[in-house]
Amino acid sequence: MNSLPVIVVGAGPVGLTSALALRAQGLPVVVLEAASAGRLRPGSRAIFYHRQTMQLWEDIRAGLGWEIANAGLVWSTKRTFWGETQVYERTYPFPPPGVMPASTNLGQVDAEKILFRHCTEAGVQFAWDQEVTDAKTSPEGVIVKTSSGKEWHSKYLVGTDGGRSVVRKQVGIELEGPRIEDAFVIVDVAEDVDDPIRPERLYYYEHPAVEKRNVLLVPFRNGIRADIQLRRGDDPKHFSDPEGVKRWLVRVLPEKYGDRVTWVSTYQFLQVVAKSFTDEHRRVVLAGEAAHLFAPFGARGLNSGVPDAIAAATGITQALNAANPQQAAAAIQEAADRRRDAALYNRNASNLALEHMRAHDWRTRLKRKASVMIAKYGSRAGSYLDSAPFGPRAAARQASDGIY
C-alpha cells in the first residue's frame, strides 16, 4: 500500500489548523474524522481567541485570521466587582484599521465552520466516518486502522483526536496531572440582537445575588457565556437542570435571558499534560487536547492548540526533507519538546488562575481581601483582582519560544 506523507486524525479546530499548516508547507493532507460529513458539533466550548492565534491563522492562510477576527465580537471594556462594589474597570481603544484586535469572541462551532471552509479551499482531503481504533508506529512510519475496516499508511501522523485521544493511548503515552474538585456550570444564552446588553466582560467575586458565588459573564458574537463557580457541597444538578439554570441566571443577567438558554454543561476540569508529545519512533506528534487539557480560565486550550498544530506541521516538513533518519527524528523531537514546555507553562498559569478563584490557601484569601481593601486607592490592586482569575497573560520566555 502507498504511504501518505502525513495523516491528521481529528477534524476539531486543532486538526483543521494542522491540515492548513501542512498545506501551507505544500504537503498533501488527509484528515481522518470519526464523525460523519456535515456533522453539527454539539456543545459550546471556546469563545475567546487571542490576537496571537488569529495572527498564526493569518500566517498559514491569508485572510483566515482576519475572517475569524471580524466574525467575532470584539469587546473593549472589562469590569470586576467584589460583591456589589466595582474594584476595577478598563476600556481599551479599538485598534486602528489594519491592526488585529487583542482578542475576538466567537462560538467554537462558528470558528470551526470558517476553518473547515478554508481547508476545503486549500485542498485538504477529508475522510469521514473513519474512527481510528488502532495506531502502530515503527521506524518507517505509521499504520492506522479505522472502524470502517480501512487501513491507512503514512510517514507521519498528527494526533488531534481530542481529550480521549485513541492515537495517544495506542502509542502508549499517558496524561499526567490532577482533576480539580470544584465544579463550574457554564451556560450560553442567545443574545437579543434588537436589545443587546453592553458588550463588556464582567467578573464578580462573591456575587451577592447568588449567595456569594463567583460569576463570569463574557459576551461573544450572538451570545453571552455565563459561568458560575459552585461551592463545595453544592449539588451541580440544582444549578444545571432547566429550572436550576433559570433560577441563578436571571439574577446575574436581565430576566429575558432565562428563556434564551442554548447550552448548559457542568465541568470539573482536568489539568493534564501528556508525558511526551511524540512516540518512541518520532512518527506521531500530539497536538491540542490530545496532548493537554486545562481549565478554560485564561483561554489556553484552543489558543495553545493552534501553535501546537503549526509546530507539528513545521517539524514534520523538516523531517520529510531531512538528510537522514537522525535529523528527521531530531526535528520531530524538537517540535514536541517545545510545545510540551509551553503546555507545562500553560497548566501552571491555569493552576494559578484556579487557585485564585477557589482561594483554598489562606495566603490567597488574604491577598484577595487586602487587594479589595486598597483597590479604591489605586488601580494596581484592582488590576490584580481583575486579571488573576485568568492567570498570567504573557508566556514565559524560557518555557517556550514566547508563544504559548
Ligand X SMILES: Cc1cc2nc3c(=O)[nH]c(=O)nc-3n(C[C@H](O)[C@H](O)[C@H](O)COP(=O)(O)OP(=O)(O)OC[C@H]3O[C@@H](n4cnc5c(N)ncnc54)[C@H](O)[C@@H]3O)c2cc1C
Q: Which residues sit at the interface with ligand X, rule CB under 6 A?
A: 9-15, 32-35, 45-48, 108, 131-132, 160-162, 166, 186, 288-289, 296, 299, 301-303, 305
Report the run of H or E that residue 220 belongs to, with start and end. strand 213-220
Q: How far is the CB of 329 from ligand X (least distance, A)?
A: 24
Q: CB atoms < 10 A from the CB of 255, how many?
A: 10
Residue 87 or residue 142: which is nearer to ligand X going by CB?
142
Q: How far is the CB of 301 from ligand X (least distance, A)?
A: 3
Q: How far is the CB of 227 from ligand X (least distance, A)?
A: 8
Distance of alpha carbon 322 from alpha carbon 49, whole angstroms: 34
What number of H helices and E strands is found in the chain?
A: 11, 19
Residue 69 or residue 186: which is nearer to ligand X going by CB?
186
* Under 8 Å between Cβ of 232 and 182: yes
Residue 205 or residue 269: which is nearer to ligand X going by CB?
269
Dihedral angle sign, alpha carbons of residues 146, 150, 151, 156:
negative
* Under 8 Å between Cβ of 132 and 34: yes
**Residue nearest ligand X by beta-carbon distance:** 12
Q: How far is the CB of 254 from ligand X (least distance, A)?
A: 23
Cell representation of residue 344: 507545562
Q: Which residues contact 210 (CB under 8 A, 6 or more apart)?
A: 228, 248, 251, 252
Residue 86 or residue 234: which is nearer to ligand X going by CB?
234
Phi, psi angle pair for 54, to nearest 5°: -65, -40
- First-to-last C-alpha distance (Å) of the chain: 39
Q: How far is the CB of 219 from ligand X (least distance, A)?
A: 12
Residue 103 or residue 371: which is nearer to ligand X going by CB?
103
Closest CA to 166 of 16, 304, 30, 290: 290
* Under 8 Å between Cβ of 388 and 380: no
* Under 8 Å between Cβ of 67 and 110: no
Q: How far is the CB of 140 from ligand X (least distance, A)?
A: 22
Q: How far is the CB of 147 from ligand X (least distance, A)?
A: 8
Residue 6 or residue 302: which is nearer to ligand X going by CB?
302
Look at strands 200-207 and 213-220 and give their pairing: antiparallel
Q: How far is the CB of 91 from ligand X (least distance, A)?
A: 21
Residue 115 or residue 372: which is nearer to ligand X going by CB?
115
Distance of alpha carbon 343 from alpha carbon 225, whole angstroms: 25
Q: How far is the CB of 236 from ligand X (least distance, A)?
A: 14
Q: How far is the CB of 238 from ligand X (least distance, A)?
A: 19
Cell representation of residue 361: 490557601
Residue 289 or residue 341: which is nearer to ligand X going by CB?
289
Closest CA to 303 of 249, 351, 345: 345
Q: What are residue 303's DSSP bridge partners?
A: none
Classified as helix, coil or strand, 162 is coil
Residue 218 or residue 328: which is nearer to ligand X going by CB?
218
How distant, in Å, are the alpha carbons of 228, 246, 318, 385, 402 from that of 209? 12, 13, 56, 20, 41
Report the run of H or E that residue 154 belongs to, with start and end. strand 151-159
Residue 8 or residue 328: which is nearer to ligand X going by CB?
8
